[in-house]
Structure 1
Amino acid sequence: MDPLITAAARALAAGDPLGALNRVALRDDAPALALRGIAMAQLGDLVRARSLVRRAARAFGPGEALARARCVVAEAEIALVSRDLGWPAKTLDAARAVLEEHGDCLNAALARHIEVRRLLLIGRLDEAERALSAVDPSPFPPASRTAHELVVAGIAMRRLRTAEARAALTLAGHAARHAGIPALTAEVENARRALDTPAARLIADGGERLLLLAEVEALQASDALVVDACRHAVRAPHVVVPLASRPVLFALARALAEAWPGDVPRDTLLVRAFGAKFADESHRARLRVEIGRLRGVLRTVATISATKRGYALAPCGARDVVVLARPIEERHAAVLAFLADGEAWSSSALALALGTSQRTVQRALDQLKAAGKVGSFGHGRARRWITPPVPAFTTTLLLPAPLSLD
């Protein structure tokens, strides 16, 4: 084995990219190109890193399938950090199979973690959990064990299992300190802080207060009727009524929940549901129709009765009615929530993560940029969007994906 290549690899494993570059910066053979690419990725120059890793993959000969597979995994990780979520997952799967075939369990596990992190970003929690269950972390070195526990914690936070998330972060902290890589320790601390910063607002009894993630978990486990403005659903014990595809019904449900135990005037409901500032008989007729539809979808969790001035909501068996909302609510809040992770996103990656069209995301980004809330760099397909995290608030992505029915 080339001693310079070995020394550079050890420097990268210890989190010292400059030490690695000092050994291979002037070399253009395939192993050196691969190590230079990984070093540039650790230094944050992702465009250059990707180019070097691709050159390395092409430079390895046809009999070096293992080395090419490792390059594919490295490129996949660079793509993930670059928020290129459309990077071909089948290519990563094929590389992982080659790594497993050649007994490189560590890099095969890295490929699996990259896959899980991508699924986590786009909200496919069930698939992420299934993929992670196939990984045995016991033989991992400290750095890899840290990455594994961070993924476990990320899924647990999305699932509102805060005790499990804290346990995973504790293990990740121990492993990061053992690895001696400051960047890993900082990543664990950032994840730990997310558990101790406000994740949502509780609106009830005419007032509101901020909730930590553990308090959101406790609220979801209570017998209260929760109108969830983070996931656009209504939840009672053992029952979830999704309303994400029915915005008018959700707007009515939220207005009624915020006023509980009182009623809401019809004119107020017309404004909340339809934006009607000047209501006529057609608006009132439509309101009656939509209230009838809302009665139908909520029949198992609540009743809606007409009053002299409007309508009132009454829970079926639940003790209280509350509204769970994002810490900060504004237009295009979902786009801002993704950008709040501090990474540079493309509009196509945001569209994939949000489950909407790229043109819709682009319009939102243009409006946010005009308001001075986001910035961009690059041009065309290389254009990336970024914004600083909102201080004192955890990203709304820590709230769960669509509520489970159990």
Structure 2
Amino acid sequence: MTDTLSPLHDEHVALGAALTSFAGWQMPLRYTSDLAEHVAVRTAAGLFDLSHMGEIRVGGPDAAAFLDYALVGNLSALRFQGARYTMICAPDGGVVDDLIVYRDLEDAFLVVANASNHAVVLGELRARAAKFEDVTVEDRSPQTALIAVQGPNALDIVHATEGLEETGGDIGASKYYACLPATFQGEPVLVARTGYTGEDGFEFFLDAPLAPALWRAFLAAGADHGLVPAGLSARDSLRLEAGMPLYGNELDRSTTPHDAGLGRVVKLDKATADGDPVDFVGRAALEARDAATPTKTLVGLEGLGRRAARHGYPVTLPDGTAIGVVTSGAPSPTLGHPVAMAYVTPDQSEPGTELAVDVRGRLEPVRVVPLPFYRRAR
């Protein structure tokens, strides 16, 4: 099966990117080096192509009530021009995908799914919409591009970008997890103050044919601000330092939001317009999980040696007794030592607990630390 090409594919080729197959797409893995791109985002800015993500438009008078039923969050309470991190769960409480939902219109929402789960989420939403009379679920992914500018210089770059007009208000004054309308070359763009790097930044949703021009405009505006194009490798190491979960690593069908320390996104107190509790998909299982004693807990691990833990490596007590598994791990360019996230038994999850990771047959010492590993200065 041939990979789908991003609307920015030719731009990546022209920049000499190393391309890789990812979730059915050809996407840039890196342009120069993973380290250089990671450091640029932490110290200046990085430019990311996220057009592989899934964009699903949910609209109609019943849209808010439908999302309250279909997702674990209280989306009817989401303010206009706001955004919310949430999840879609199976009836047994397992995570189908983690999502960001934007309320960019009064009666319509933009649901953004992970690339690997786009088709599954679209199918689940359409199936769950059958309970509602006046809601539409439309796949907008094929015609939508998504570009992100992330890093401490992101706002300066956005303000300097030729052809980008802030028609919906001051982007710089917007709060984190907000979205505003704008235009580029007279065409509509949705600008969201969201990201997956742990830095301040902006994500731009626009029609796919317009994406190459905006990409080049960002590169031109960022030339004096340290902006570099950045690939999937840097995006992954950045999100790991920021303690952000990745579906297929920290989250999957066998994991509930509570296991991942994200029980707060499950809104058991959300109510219908009549004041009755919302019987959302997975409610009974998640209510039981909320009251139950956990069997596993997601923790951060600080490597005390030089060898990095990787996804799937066993976590053990210092004597080698297995107590968990690494979900994500890598050397941290920012901190200068290896870091990892892992599921362990709750009795070994307290910060300061000394553990080990089996790195190819050798026990490497690690210490439990709070997440995230990195938090930007405000």
> Taking structure 2 as the reference length, what is the TM-score of the superposition?
0.25
Highest RCO, 1 vs 2 (Cα 8 Å, sep ≥ 6): 2
Instruction: Name the structure where strand makes up a greater proportion of residues.
Output: 2
Larger Rg: 1
> Taking structure 1 as the reference length, what is the TM-score of the superposition?
0.24
